[in-house]
Amino acid sequence: MAQAKQEGEVKKSSKKPLIILVLAIIFSLAVGAGGMFFYMKQIIMPREIEAVCAEPPLPVVTTIYTELSKPLIVNFPQGSSIRLVKMTLAMAAENEATIAILKKNEPMLLNNLLMLISAQNTDSLKTHDGKVALRNAIFDDVTATLEKTSPGAEIKEVFFTSFIMQ
């Protein structure tokens, strides 16, 4: 019996360290899980905030270019400093419908542009500001023509693709 008491005591004392070990493991796992939770929260939250605060992407605007089929050639009077101007023009629009309207009304556009260019002061065409003013006048004239023929159609820009003066 003495031996049985000793074995029982030994068994009782051996459960305590086992319980402490299991509790320590559970505590370590809980602390590790909590730490991992807060670490992941700090990593994921800024990304979510950036995703929420990010501005929506801008809509894609397409630009379609068209060039007039014929160059514009204008003769100036003999007394002027420039005798001849030859230029080709390109125009930018946002859709194919505007390009189709430009091509359909090209004879009227060419006529109006020839009249506009022939009315220019030849000395001003030699300067950069004069060319910019001519480009703006061409833009206004084409916009007015488009407004007459097809309201709602508009061009974005006019470009000189060649500009020759003699």
Encode 6-33 in three state secondary structure. Answer: HHHHHHHHHHHHHHHHHHHHHHHHHHHH
Domain of residue 13 covers 1-54
- Domain with residue 137: its CATH number is 3.30.479
- 40 and 99 belong to one structural domain: no
- The dihedral built from the CA positions of residue 63, 93, 58 and 136, taken in this order, carries a sign that is positive
- 76 and 119 belong to one structural domain: yes
- 90 and 27 belong to one structural domain: no
CB 65 within 8 A of CB 91: yes
- 126 and 157 belong to one structural domain: yes
- 41 and 20 belong to one structural domain: yes
CB 84 within 8 A of CB 114: no
| Domain end marker among 9, 28, 54 | 54
Q: What is the pTM of this model?
A: 0.63
In the predicted model, residues of the chain with pLDDT beneath 50 are 10
**pLDDT at position 46, please?**
63
What is the number of domains present in the chain?
A: 2
